[in-house]
Structure formats: structure tokens, C-alpha cells
Amino acid sequence: MVDVKRQTVQLQSENQRLKRQIVQQDSNLLAAQTKLKSTQAALDEVIPSANTYVISPNQSMMIAGGRLSVGLIGSPTNESVTMNINGKRQLVSTGDVVNVALNPSTTCHVRVESFDMFKAIVTAVCEPVRPQ
């Protein structure tokens, strides 16, 4: 009986030590994830993904190999952003895709990936029109 009590106390002590170890590991994991996210964000700013463009308010740029003119008109709102795509004003939200026919054989797709008050991030891909 005394041996069982001693073993119970020993197991409770071990349990507490393991719980503290788990809390510490969770904290370390959260810190590593936070550091990874900020590092990835910094890397994305320096080296954006292919066909991804960061556009500031009242800025325009030629994208998709110079085939599209895209501009951000004013600052984005909470729910949408106004863009000028090849001279046509578009009110778009995150995830929206604007299809632009450059000529009968080429269509470009401009997708709003995200935006905040200081920038919009868009992707643009141009591809040949598939015959139907």
C-alpha cells in the first residue's frame, strides 16, 4: 500500500513536469510560426511570386508582360477596391477575377488576391483563347 502511494505521488510529479514541458513546447512552436509568417511576408515583399503585383493607391503599372495597364484608384475600402484595368473602371473584392480580352486570340485574367488600406495584391495571367 505504501509503495502504491509512493508510486502515485511519483506519477503525479512526472505528470506535472510533462504538462510544463508541453506548455513550453507550445510556446516555442507559436513563436516559431510567428517568426516564419513574418519572414515569409518580408520575403514576398522582396521577391513576389510570379505574375503577382503589389499596387499602391493612385498608382498604375504595366503588368502581364506589358499587355495590361492596371491601376488602383484611391484607397481600398473595407470590402472592395476600385481598379482601372486597361482604361475600364472595375469595383472588385478579394477573390474576384476580371477577364480582359486583349484580342480575339488572347484573354488575360486579373485576380485580386488581397488588399488593405495601403496596397492591393493582384495576379495576372494571359493565355490563348481556346477554340470552342
Q: Cell numbers of 21, please?
A: 514541458
Task: Look at residue 14 in the predicted model and tell me its pLDDT.
Answer: 95
Low-confidence winner among 31-35, 37-41, 89-93, 111-115 (lowest mean pLDDT): 37-41
As a whole-number percent, the residues of the chain with pLDDT over 70 amount to: 96
> Whole-angstrom Cα distance, residue 104 to residue 129?
7
Alpha helices in the chain (DSSP H): 2-46
pTM above 0.75, yes or no: no
Question: In the block, which residue shows the cell 503589389?
Answer: 54
Backbone angles phi, psi at 108, to 5 degrees: -110, 145
- Residues 96 and 118 grouped into a single domain: yes
pLDDT per residue as tens digits for the range 49-58: 788 898 999 9
Among the listed residues 67, 63, 66, the one whose alpha carbon sits nearest the alpha carbon of residue 121: 63
Among the listed residues 77, 75, 82, the one whose alpha carbon sits nearest the alpha carbon of residue 57: 75
- How many structural domains does the chain have? 2
Range of the domain at 63: 52-128
pLDDT per residue as tens digits for the range 14-62: 999 999 999 999 999 999 999 998 888 877 776 667 888 989 999 999 9
- Residues 65 and 96 grouped into a single domain: yes
- Residues 61 and 87 grouped into a single domain: yes
Low-confidence winner among 39-48, 49-58, 64-73, 108-117 (lowest mean pLDDT): 39-48
Identify the top-confidence range among 39-43, 69-73, 115-119: 69-73
- Residues 94 and 38 grouped into a single domain: no
- Residues 43 and 57 grouped into a single domain: no
Task: Look at residue 49 in the predicted model and tell me its pLDDT.
Answer: 78
> Whole-angstrom Cα distance, residue 95 to residue 97?
6
- Residues 97 and 33 grouped into a single domain: no
- Residues 29 and 70 grouped into a single domain: no
- Residues 110 and 73 grouped into a single domain: yes
- Residues 12 and 42 grouped into a single domain: yes
Pairing assessment for the beta strands 52-55 and 60-63 based on DSSP bridges:
unpaired
